[in-house]
Chains A and B, each alone.
Chain A
Amino acid sequence: MNPVRKRRLYLALFLLLAVSGTTAALMVALEQNINMFFPPADVVAGVAPTETPIRAGGMVLEGSVVRDPGSLGVEFVLTDRAGAEFTVAFEGILPDLFREGQGIIVQGELKEDGLFAAREVLAKHDENYMPPELMDIAGHQNQGADS
């Protein structure tokens, strides 16, 4: 084979391998690292899968935050203000903007008994900012207030 063709062949093979490898890896990785978001209604209704990493969110119910006196453990209730509520357990430091009534996102696993074991609690850094995931719930709430 002449050198130019040989080089082209190597190049084509290299590119083909790189592209197909990347695509395959992307698909597999995405499968494993996707976190679906579920609003409180889905968590309560059993739509959300249990024992799988997921995201959920809602407003922190007023008066529901209970701290464990000996550790950093904390439990609180997330609500969509339309009847669906579930309890979240978390061990660690809550973000600055975590407060009662605030819309937040939790990432973790839903246990069989309906308790949400959170590994991460996310609240955004601007009090006017609403996580897009919670926009539907908040919109719902406003409509309720109007009528």
Chain B
Amino acid sequence: MNMLPEFGQISLACAACLALAAAVTGLGGNGARGELLRRSTVSMVVGQFVFSTVAFAILVTAFVNDDFSVEYVANNSNSLLPWYYKISAAWGGHEGSFLLWIVIMTLWMVAVVVRRQNYPQRFANRVLGILSLLNLGFLSFAFFTSNPFTRLIPMTPADGADLNPLLQDFGLIVHPPLLYVGYVGLAVPFAFAVAALLENRLDAAWSRWSRPWTNVAWAALTLGIALGSWWAYYELGWGGWWFWDPVENASFMPWLAATALIHSLAVTEKRGTFKSWTLLLAIAAFSLSLLGAFIVRSGVLTSVHAFAVDPERGSYILAFLALVVGGSLTLYALRGGGVRAAVGYQLMSREFFMLINNVILVVSLAVVLWGTLAPIGYEVLTGSRISIGVPFFNMFFVPLMLALAAAVSLVPVLNWKRTRWAAIKPAFAYALPLAVVGGGLTLYFTEPRLVMVALALMLAAWIVVTHANDIWKRVRARSSMPLSYAGMTIAHLGFAMSVIGVAVTSTQSIEADRRMAPGDQTELGTAAVQFVGMQQVRGPNYVADQGNFIVTPAGGSPYSLKPEKRRYLARGSIMTEAAINPGFMSDTYISLGEPLGDGAWAVRLHFKPLVRWVWLGCLLMALGGVMAVADKRYRRLRARQDAQVREVHESAAGQVST
């Protein structure tokens, strides 16, 4: 009999033991004679990575070999599934996706190991210790409540129950891994913050070390969320791209906190102020990603993606969350409160606008948190169930994001500490009128004409104009354009792009639900749509009714769209596969409802202008975040730090000898 799955389980147990040991040496091995312990922390961190990866590889092997004696494989795969979905099915359910989470966690830890020379030895050791402690929590959660290697012996099923058809898609192959890179990546700034608190080393150096990690995690989270939104758009079959669903909110909350953290870290590094606030944000960002895990995996909330309703898992994560939040906040209260900066700044300064940015982001965060958790609180208090509608979130996010856009547009003209009016004047005297004209012009083309849309377009144009002007000024003055500056500019332009996309697509889309029989013709905006007929098609593991629609845009050449209604054979479940003609300026989207008899079908027709801008903007934001990490500054820093680190070591050694 194939014993591999048992080895997977043993491998997980080994990783957990190493995590425990590394947590002990990482947090305890910082005495004078701890050199050996500190070295062993490093090798045990690498060991956690090796054992977790082996466990994951074994799980993937079980999927590829159709080993249905493993319960998780039997529940999430089927022999008819194409090989690439067999691999991605490994993270299609709760247990496997959590194992992936652990593998990614250990990857981040190995990355810290690789870059450990950039930090003082003890500090790196503490960071690795904290990360191992967190990983121990994850590993024991997997081992005790969510073991992916549980066997179904002797009642081995002949074939698997199949992967949920919704998840048989390219989007699912990449969306969860990216999202987890972001979620788990926030553990690194968290560990840096806790290590800094433990060492009482709350200087600018700490924030400089933390910045690249935060940026990469944030960029991955941004991409993960954007991918999820894109996936929902084409896969759920009703053309929406954001639903304020609890699980979406679960990923959006750490994103908002991480966005605030990126900006606050910049202030702490450059100006040495906002110190305790930055620490708090680093703690909050990771705590919120744990809260997200709790929301998704405990099933407390009604949601499209809730994995399963399992009180045991829920209470485990809740206890873990309480320990992490409680522990780090206690430490913060003991050490962080006293950090005061002596640096002042004026109202018209970059610092103050960063503060505004942070307040807006934290208020947004509070709104999402409230909207997500209020139904639970209400049920606990009154026993009846409520849901909070989309209008609740929109009501806050429209004004909040407009205010944020206004703040972003002034960034290029603001200096640290204080800014003279003469420097700000062009932003109001030239850029703003230009933006107003731009916004006003677009108002002329929109239908329906809405003040909020014009305002959003105007503010987005303002961001573009002030940032473009700043680039132009630098080019003309032949001054340097460091990658961190370019990254910031690209990220801000990406934000403007997303704002335009959201404003236009959510108000200017044309959506029509029609009853159509073969031969029928209908209008979608300025395009004519003809329903030619239906035919049966077969996929590897499904059969489908495929509609043939000919779309003729006004003044364009006709093309055909073929939406499908699929029936997956293993579960007999029905799936809508939308047909989309994507475009930079607009999408045309057709999906099938249900057959209405006499050959007629319910048909959903959408015309969605600028919908891609929402995701392209996110792509730019993520690109900007990663570019900033590649800045020469961080590399040059390494040389300088080497000297610094050596100094610290020597002085430490000196202290010991005296």
Give the interface of A toward B (CB within 8 A): 3-4, 7, 10-11, 14-15, 18, 22, 25-26, 29-30, 32-37, 53, 55, 67, 69-72, 92-94, 96-98, 124-127, 129, 131-133
Contact = CB atoms under 8 A, between A and B. Distances in A.
A30 B374 contact: yes
A30 to B, nearest CB: 7
B652 interface: no
B375 to A, nearest CB: 9
B346 A3 contact: yes
Contacts of B576: 96
Given A14-B359, A30-B388, A37-B387, A127 B573 contact: yes
Interface string B300-314: 011010100100000
A34 B386 contact: yes
Contact of A4 (B237, B344, B386): B344
Give the secondary structure class of B's interface: mixed
A124 B304 contact: yes
Given A22-B367, A35-B386, A72 B513 contact: yes
Contacts of A7: 344-347
A26 B367 contact: yes
A9 B602 CA distance: 61
Given A10-B347, A22-B363, A129 B306 contact: yes
Interface in B349-395: 355, 359, 363, 366-367, 370, 374, 384-389, 391-392, 395
A33 B302 contact: no
Interface in B488-537: 513-515
B388 A35 contact: yes
A109 B600 CA distance: 29
Interface stretch (B212-220, B260-268, B591-599): B591-599
Contact of A131 (B236, B302, B367): B302
Give the secondary structure class of A's interface: mixed
A132 B166 contact: no
Contact of B389 (A35, A93, A96): A35
B140 to A, nearest CB: 27
A93 B240 CA distance: 14
Given A15-B359, A18-B363, A93-B594, A33 B396 contact: no
Contacts of B363: 18, 22
B392 A30 contact: yes
B366 A22 contact: yes
Contacts of B236: 125
B386 A36 contact: yes
Given A37-B387, A125-B166, A71 B515 contact: yes
18 contacts: A4-B344, A7-B345, A22-B363, A29-B395, A30-B374, A30-B388, A33-B389, A33-B391, A34-B387, A35-B389, A36-B385, A36-B386, A37-B385, A94-B594, A96-B573, A96-B574, A96-B575, A125-B164
Given A14-B359, A96-B574, A127-B571, A33 B346 contact: no
A29 B392 contact: yes
* For the complex of A and B, 6 pairs with smallest distance between CB atoms: A93-B593, A33-B392, A37-B385, A33-B389, A96-B574, A93-B602
Contact of B513 (A70, A93, A131): A93
A3 B344 CA distance: 9
Contacts of A26: 366-367, 370, 396
A37 B164 CA distance: 28
Interface in B523-558: none
Nearest to A11: B355
B604 interface: yes
Contact of B385 (A3, A30, A132): A132
Contacts of A124: 304
Interface in B547-596: 571, 573-576, 593-594, 596
A133 B385 contact: yes
A40 B520 CA distance: 39
A132 B237 contact: no
B571 A72 contact: no
A16 B344 CA distance: 21
Contacts of B596: 67, 72
A84 B392 CA distance: 32
A69 B602 CA distance: 12
A69 B596 CA distance: 8
Given A26-B396, A72-B514, A92-B513, 18 more contacts: A7-B347, A10-B347, A18-B363, A22-B366, A30-B388, A32-B391, A34-B386, A35-B386, A37-B384, A69-B597, A71-B515, A72-B513, A93-B594, A96-B573, A96-B574, A125-B166, A132-B301, A132-B309
Contacts of A53: 389
A35 to B, nearest CB: 5
Nearest to B604: A93
Nearest to A14: B359
A63 to B, nearest CB: 16
A25 B396 contact: yes
Contacts of A35: 386-389
Task: Select the residue from A30, A71, A96, A129 with max chain B CB neighbours within 10 A.
Answer: A96
A99 to B, nearest CB: 8
Contacts of A133: 302, 385
A72 B516 CA distance: 10
B309 to A, nearest CB: 8
Nearest to A73: B515
B349 to A, nearest CB: 10
Nearest to B304: A125
Nearest to A33: B392
